[in-house]
Structure 1
Amino acid sequence: MSRRGTNGADGGERIVRRKLSDQVLERLLEMITRGEIAPGETMPSERDLMERFGVGRPAVREALHSLDTMGLISISHGERARVSALSAETAIHQIDGVARLLLSADPDNLGHLKAARRFFEIGMVRSAAERARPTDIGDLRALVARQRETLGDAEAFISADIAFHRRIAEMSGNPIFVAVCDAMLNWLFTYHTDLLLWAGAEDTTLAEHDEIVDCIAQGAADAAAVAMGRHLDRSATLYRHHDAVG
């Protein structure tokens, strides 16, 4: 009596036939990661790729579409695909659509995002206070001044707010931190902008930003962390899930 395995009727491992487009995608990824095609350069034509890999046009087109979706190439009508520059921003951008769906699907996820942002930004402001240069302080004060000039224009005010927090993340010198900061802020401010829950909060925001900059300028990491935590705790009430309004 033969023994039956969990992977197949005869106890062996099944060989799954892979789609041609997946194999082409794997080859194209290797070409990009090896630097065979540098950022900014055009991809080989569809005909060249068909001949190189011995496949039909549908497999090549599907693989190129996957690369475009991943943000690794850009496709313009009537032109050959061009390789995009690889960056932390490119990587984080790939989860943008899924993240927005996740936030919309469950009100609890917005709370989780607020908590993650608080943890992240307190770490960022500590780092900023420890390594700030005069030019960094000047940039932050200029951003607060720019934000003050946008009072009455909610969209411009929010844009300046994002720039302020992003500049603090930039002081870390770590591009991954900057990309994560951009993503979290843009996901959060989607709720902020749509609901326009700003009434009476702008002046408080500006005062809190001034306090944060003062702490950074003094190199007071603990005080900067406390100021940032207080600022985020207060502003967190301005972000509401759509289901929680009305």
Structure 2
Amino acid sequence: MSADEIPDKITRRKLSDQVLDRLQGLISTGELKPGDVMPSERALMARFGVGRPAVREALQSLHNSGLITINHGERSRVNAIDAGTVLSQSDAIARLLLSSAPGNLQHLKEARQMFELGMVRLAAQQASESDVAGLRALVEEQRRNLGNAKAFVSADMAFHTRLAQMSGNPIMAAVSGAMLAWLFEYHGGLLHWSGKEDITLAEHGRIVDLIAAHDEEGAVAEMARHLTRAEGAFEPRQG
């Protein structure tokens, strides 16, 4: 088929999609800022020359994507958008991905290990006294929660999240948080941690000591051992 014979059909887009594009444009240009109340349905209908169904469908799409929050009985508001907001929108898809193909869980573990090793290197490079004190406080929080598996795991997540936050890069922190959430959603059960809490505490303590000493290579090596040893805690759910 020659170029002249290729169909050049014009497809008619749904009105709601066109309204959605306009609303996204208002948000991206700053005409509608985080925290602003969205215009009423009637105002949007008049502005865009469309009916209520198109406006409502567009607003629902904005809500589903996290750009606005719709609360029944209240006017919708524009949300602040950051890396965490964006990644949270992929949670359901990520869980489906992990459930549908067992190999993807191993891929996530590998990606997380590479990411964490980079994060701990950055932490060792630039950790302040305040950063180190914060990490030690989280290790002590874990110690206080010995015997309470759920709280212990929560403190474990907080420790690794704090390492990512020390990078000062909000995208790195958001990616780290997302990967941790996906992994802990699919760990094989809290019993995997039983009897290993002391090992985890000792490993975390050594990692903090190496960060405090700005020993990059030592911190990376210790984190690698820690992640390899703890990898068995994450397995696909049974049943």
**Alignment TM-score > 0.5, same fold:** yes
Question: Which residue of 3, 6, 12 corresponds with 1:17?
Answer: 12
Partner of residue 233, structure 1? 228
| Equivalent of 2:104 in 93, 109, 113 | 109
Partner of 2:74: 79
The Cα shift of 1:238 comes to 1.1
Q: Does 1:36 align with 2:17?
A: no
Give the total of aligned pairs.
Answer: 239
* Deviations, residues 196-218 of structure 1 (Å, cap 9, x unaligned): 31121111111100010011000
The alpha carbon displacement at 1:135 in A equals 0.2
1:90 equivalent in alignment to 2:82: no
Moved more, 10-19 or 114-123: 10-19
The answer (yes or no) to whether the contact 1:155–1:193 under 8 Å persists in 2 is no
Q: Is the 8 A contact 1:154 1:193 kept in 2?
A: no
Q: Which runs of 4+ in 1 moved over 2 A?
A: 4-7, 191-196
Could you tell me which residue of structure 2 aligns to residue 50 of structure 1?
A: 45
Distance between the aligned counterparts of 1:14 and 1:232, measured in 2? 54
- How do 1:38-187 residues align onto structure 2 when only pairs under 5 Å count? 38-187=33-182
Distance in 2 between the 1:180 and 1:129 partners? 19
Deviation of the 1:12 alpha carbon:
3.2
2:98 corresponds to which letter in structure 1? L
User: Residues 128-179 of structure 1: CA distance to partner in whole angstroms, max 9, x if unpaired?
Assistant: 0000000000000000000111111111111101110011101100000110
**Counterpart Cα distance in 1 of 2:118 and 2:102:** 25
Task: Output aligned runs, 1:199-218, within 5 Å.
Answer: 199-218=194-213
Aligned-residue identity in percent = 57
**Alpha-carbon distance between aligned partners in 2 of 1:147 and 1:192, rounded to the nearest angstrom:** 18
Give me the TM-score of the superposition, normalised by structure 1: 0.93
Aligned AA for 1:37?
Answer: L
- CA distance, structure 2, for counterparts of residue 115 and residue 6 of structure 1: 46
Supply the distance in 1 between the matched residues of 2:231 and 2:188 (Cα, whole angstroms). 14
For structure 1, the residue ranges without an aligned partner over 5 or more in a row are: none
Deviations 1:81-119 (A, max 9, x none): 100001111111111110011111111111000000000
Cα distance in structure 1, aligned partners of 2:22 and 2:3: 32
* RMSD of aligned alpha carbons: 1.5
TM-score (norm 2): 0.96
Letter in 1 for 2:160: H
CA distance in 2 between partners of 1:20 and 1:173 (Å)? 42
CA distance in 1, matches of 2:106, 2:6: 48
Unaligned runs of 5+ in 2: none
Q: Hey, what's the Cα distance between the residues in 1 that align with 2:94 and 2:156?
A: 21
Change (3 A) 1:149 1:58: same
Q: Which residue type is aligned with residue 126 of structure 1?
A: R
Question: CA distance change for structure 1 residues 46 and 196 in 2, over 3 Å: closer, same or farther?
Answer: farther
